Amino acid sequence: MNWFDYNTQVVAAATALLGAAAGLAGCLLLLRRRALMGDALGHATLPGIAAAYLVSVAVGGTGKEPWVLLAGAAAGAIAGVLGVVLVRRGARVSDETAMAIVLGAFFGLGTALLTVIQASPGGHQAGLSSFILGHAASMVASDLRAASIVALVCVALVVLLTKELRLLCFDESFARVIGRPVRWLDATVLIIVTAVVIAGLQAVGLILILSLLILPATAARLCTDRFTVMLPLAAAFGAISGVGGTLVSSFAPRLPTGPCIVLVAATLFVLALLFAPKRGLFAQAAMGRAGGYRP
């Protein structure tokens, strides 16, 4: 790949938009203390994708139409969210345990279906396994369009609902007291996250999508004490990770794009951890000497 390459530009633009959307969605997950929900959602898409392929082949399709597979992924993610809610209630376990259960069982089902599909005629070329680890280099103009739509929807929802979402994340019971439908707001957050996870499957894969959700958001959190600053900052960090990761992987041969994006995001996080004003380690050390910052 080359930097001036049209393909690289497409991939960079798509991953930048995706990173921005993931940054926004990640802020909501992080502040709602549900960071790992992204992981459960990501893993839960796999059986959905595999089932969509099988259904599509069974009714005479090729099983390769992207919208079929993405619809399957969405169905899997929604089933995963419902699974977390039902397991938490039915088995009376914590949120985190319910997520681990859904993650393990759904991904297990997905891999079992995947092995069967890959053995079937035509299955190996379906390229379903690229959803697990991602395959950004193969992104084309239609993927860019999809990423732009997702990013646009995320930005629109978050901007329109900033007031409500901040209230929900900060003080849920106060939101209920003044009559806001907390359940629907929560559902909106999960819909935003699901959209990002599905759009991100091709770029970074269903395992690494978690890092794209929480790394920019956490880095932004370290840099600012304002919700309204944190959101655009996280989006910017996400976009920088997307572009940066794509460029790094295009300069060196044999560097997979998805992991590169994650490592750029991780680098930004480490920089924020070290140098952030007030919350950064250096600032804290300096203020510790001056006897300043109170956590």
Partner 1 sequence: MTSATARTPSDFGCEHSSSSPLSIHALTVAYDRRPVLWDVDLDVPAQSIVGVIGPNGAGKSTLLKACLGLIPIASGKVSVFGKPYEEQRARVGYVPQRESVDWDFPVSVLEVVMMGTFGQLGWFQMAGKLERAKAREALDAVGLADEENQQIGQLSGGQQQRVFLARALAQSAQIYLMDEPFSSVDAATEQAIIAVLRRMRSEGRTVIVVHHDLETARDYFDWVILLNTRVVAAGPTATTLTHEQLRKTYGGRLTLLDEAAQRMQKAQLG
Partner 2 sequence: MNAWTLAVDGWIIAIGALGALACAVPGAFLVVRRTSMLADAVSHAVLPGIAVAFLLSGTRDPLWMFLGAAAAGLFVTLGSSALARIARIDSGAALGIVFTTMFALGLILIVQVADRVDLDPSCVLYGAIELAPLDSILLLGVEVPRAVLVLGGVTLLNAFVAVIFWKELTVMAFDPALARTLGCRPKLMESIILGMAAATCVAAFESVGSILIVAMMIIPAASARLWSDRLAGVIVGAMLIGILGALVGHWIATAVAPAIIPGGRDASSAGSIAATLGALLVASIVVAPRRGIVVRLVHRWLLTLRIAREDAIGLLWRLDEDQRTVAPAQLRDLLVRGAEIPNWLARMAIAHLVRDGRLECVENVARLTTQGRADGASLVRSHRLWEIYLMQRLAIAKDHVHPTAMVLEHITDAVMREQLAREGGIAADDHGTRADPHGRAVPEVPRTNGAN
Tokens of 93: 């376990």
Which residues neighbour 224 within 8 Å (Cβ) at sequence distance 6 or greater? 230, 233
Residue 295 is a binding residue for partner 1 (CB under 8 A) = yes
Among 95, 166, 186, 207, binds partner 1 (CB under 8 A): 166
How near is the Cβ of 139 to partner 2 at its closest, in Å? 18
Q: Which stretch binds partner 1 (CB under 8 A): 43-51, 73-81, 190-198, 226-234?
A: 226-234
Rule CB under 8 A: is residue 287 a binding residue for partner 1?
no
Show the tokens assigned to 44: 């839960």
Q: Using DSSP, how many helices (H) and how many strands (E) does the chain show?
A: 12, 0
Closest CA to 26 of 192, 167, 148: 192
Residue choice 33, 127, 140, 142 for contact with partner 2 (CB under 8 A):
33
**Residue 182 binding target from partner 1, partner 2, none, CB below 5 to 8 Å by type:** none
Cβ closest to partner 1, residue 68 vs residue 161: 161
Task: Give the largest Cα separation in the chain, rounded.
Answer: 72
Decide: 213 and 18 in contact? Cβ < 8 Å. Answer: no
Query: In this chain, which stretch among 36-44, 220-228, 237-245, 253-261 interacts with partner 1, using CB under 8 A?
Result: 220-228
Angle between helices 281-290 and 257-275 (to 10 degrees): 10
Least distance to partner 1, CB of residue 37, Å = 17
The beta strands (E) that lie in 126-174 are given as none
Q: Which of residues 12-71 bind partner 1 (CB under 8 A)?
A: 31, 33
Interacting residues with partner 1 (CB under 8 A): 31, 33, 160-161, 163-164, 166-167, 169-171, 173-174, 176-180, 221, 224-227, 229-230, 294-295
